[in-house]
Structure 1
């Protein structure tokens, strides 16, 4: 293959664009990385990028209960010291005050009283690390809570911030965190995280990892660009936030999970045992698979509450019985709680929901499936 000389080979006037893009792009990837970590721990999370702070993490889908962690994400080098935290650049225009320090900007971001009420904490997340003196220098802490800093460091930060802002409210709620996500090739790292997540939770499953990653990061970028303010919580989540439940939804759509296929086959065997026609078995295969995926991947509060309601209903119906006949099962579905029925889109979906949970319940002879689900839904609504 012949090599053609590059007609555009010349010193570029400006190269900061790609560097700036990479810094902003890292913030989006860190948000996704954090969501994946929390999803693996079955924690409910909603990530907002460029809302009051670089990344804002909510711990509940309920706007009245949600607590928010404000995260400022930095890729600058070298390690962060007290001096760097407090450094103030010259004003953009003559006669104006100096720009606020990084630490002051974090505190200013939560100054409105309305935001303070739901604040769970503030974190400065950096790729380089921190050179801050601790109370006990023999231990390595990450993140570093403000109260774990040496008294001299705390006094220095407090005095400087009070001089700059006139107060040091919320300073004790700040933590300094070294990012676990590498600064380079972070996209490859996150795809690896997704692959490992699937392997740990659903061994042997085949997943379109690239498709899951692309869909999630594109959604974060698209919603991160939204600058509108929303009066209602549901609208904010819909147009600006990315819930961790979205991870499970995409894993379900872009995976062939062995546990799911086993559940579907078991469900069809149960239908055959009850005498359902081959046509009905075929007709319900897709809705059975859809709910089986949801039961394994969806950790949203709405789904967990539905699951709890169905499992409690099944538990009451079974009593001391080992199994239900077809007539008993259909009567059970017909008498389902109103709250469950309202969330089902069709009679077939309701039937499939009950059948999958009935089989899940049967596999747990001591009812631990019910206990686990009830615990998860309680944790998420607390």
Structure 2
């Protein structure tokens, strides 16, 4: 088990307080997922964990860096005064400001040096003094005029004793709007699938429902996890899991040739009809997944099997059955069973490597 860099006590774990806030927050997170996925970038997304949305850029703990986002569904554009206003709490204490709450999730934490973006997302935008009066959808600290920045810095210094505003703090006006959020995200999923598998048939509504339901389930988990692997497994929506949903609800003619070759090959192996049916289905999912999105794990597995494959001289075998048997045994000798689920998956990886090589 690997130590979890995000294993600090959370500021709060009650989650979004209203359905409207939660709906906008989740739909914005889905758009962020689609953007990452369309760039074929590995990611893990956490909802209601330290912040409204946290995105890791890797599933590997040593490589992971984080983006922290607070997502607000508001009726008015945020001014510097609204961002730093502190309401009275119990016993005459002052509550955190909107900006102070976001920064307190990021500053003076064990993971502070791993944060690449601190983002405040507002459905109604921001009314801040901007250099050259530009209209920006992402406002960075360097874009804010000196007088406005001085007001923000003074208020945050008083609240959190921060001398300078973080340079990676962004104020973000989202493309997604409050109206028709579901339709917007469904259409984005449709475009995503078409970019991964041009000309494919997919059911973007089912993809949307499966992903948003899983995100809702994950957001209700309030436990902390000390080790990274359990955090990824229990609390995150990953590029691998999203790709799995996409492939489950998509058909792509671009892998028909590979599937046909597999079908011809298994007919020679003497399997019973039930095993053929199951392995043909599983092989199709492997081929479809890797045609659209090769995760870091996929790359590692295919490279490992390719190295093992290259150790066997194909010319010494008179038929495919004996060749595959030798490849399977070599993969076992190389310890590759530990990289996959079971012996059937090892065999599928052996055949996948064989067909891709030819």
Both structures adopt the same fold (TM-score exceeding 0.5): yes
With over 3 angstroms needed to count, the CA separation of the structure-2 counterparts of 1:163 and 1:191, relative to structure 1, is same
Matches within 5 A, 1:303-342: 303-314=298-309, 326=320, 327-336=322-331, 338=334, 340-342=336-338
Please state how far the C-alpha of 1:115 moved relative to its aligned partner.
2.8
Partner of 1:216: 211
User: How many correspondences in the alignment?
Assistant: 337
Asked whether 1:232 is paired with 2:227, we answer: yes
Please state how far the C-alpha of 1:171 moved relative to its aligned partner.
2.7
- Superposed CA deviations along residues 282-328 of structure 1, whole A, max 9, x for unmatched, are 35423322322332355443222112222344466689x9x996244
Matches within 5 A, 1:230-379: 230-270=225-265, 275-277=268-270, 279=272, 282=276, 284-297=279-292, 299-314=294-309, 326=320, 327-336=322-331, 338=334, 340-362=336-358
Distance 1:267 1:258 in 2: 15
Matches within 5 A, 1:17-28: 20-28=18-26
Q: Which has the larger radius of gyration?
A: 1
Regions of 4+ moved over 6 Å: none
Distance 1:288 1:86 in 2: 55
Please state how far the C-alpha of 1:253 moved relative to its aligned partner.
1.9
Asked whether 1:111 is paired with 2:110, we answer: no
Q: Residue 335 of structure 1 aligns to a residue in which SS?
A: helix
Partner of 1:30: 28
Query: Is the Cα contact below 8 Å between 2:38 and 2:195 reproduced in 1?
Result: no
Q: Residue 71 of structure 1 aligns to a residue in which SS?
A: strand
Please state how far the C-alpha of 1:150 moved relative to its aligned partner.
2.0
With over 3 angstroms needed to count, the CA separation of the structure-2 counterparts of 1:350 and 1:147, relative to structure 1, is same
With over 3 angstroms needed to count, the CA separation of the structure-2 counterparts of 1:104 and 1:269, relative to structure 1, is same
With over 3 angstroms needed to count, the CA separation of the structure-2 counterparts of 1:141 and 1:338, relative to structure 1, is farther
Q: How high is the TM-score relative to the length of structure 2?
A: 0.83
Q: How high is the TM-score relative to the length of structure 1?
A: 0.78
Query: Is the Cα contact below 8 Å between 1:248 and 1:299 reproduced in 2?
Result: no
- Superposed CA deviations along residues 55-108 of structure 1, whole A, max 9, x for unmatched, are 11111111232111110001213322222222223x134x52332221111111
Q: Residue 18 of structure 2 aligns to a residue in which SS?
A: helix
Please state how far the C-alpha of 1:47 moved relative to its aligned partner.
1.0
Distance 2:32 2:313 in 1: 41
Query: Is the Cα contact below 8 Å between 1:46 and 1:60 reproduced in 2?
Result: yes
Partner of 1:184: 179
Q: Residue 92 of structure 2 aligns to a residue in which SS?
A: coil
Unpaired segments ≥5 residues, structure 2:
1-16
Please state how far the C-alpha of 1:222 moved relative to its aligned partner.
1.2
With over 3 angstroms needed to count, the CA separation of the structure-2 counterparts of 1:227 and 1:349, relative to structure 1, is closer
Unpaired segments ≥5 residues, structure 1:
1-18, 363-382
Partner of 1:12: none
RMSD over aligned Cα atoms: 2.8
Partner of 2:78: 80
Query: Is the Cα contact below 8 Å between 1:249 and 1:298 reproduced in 2?
Result: no
Distance 2:307 2:145 in 1: 52
Partner of 2:126: 130
With over 3 angstroms needed to count, the CA separation of the structure-2 counterparts of 1:335 and 1:104, relative to structure 1, is same
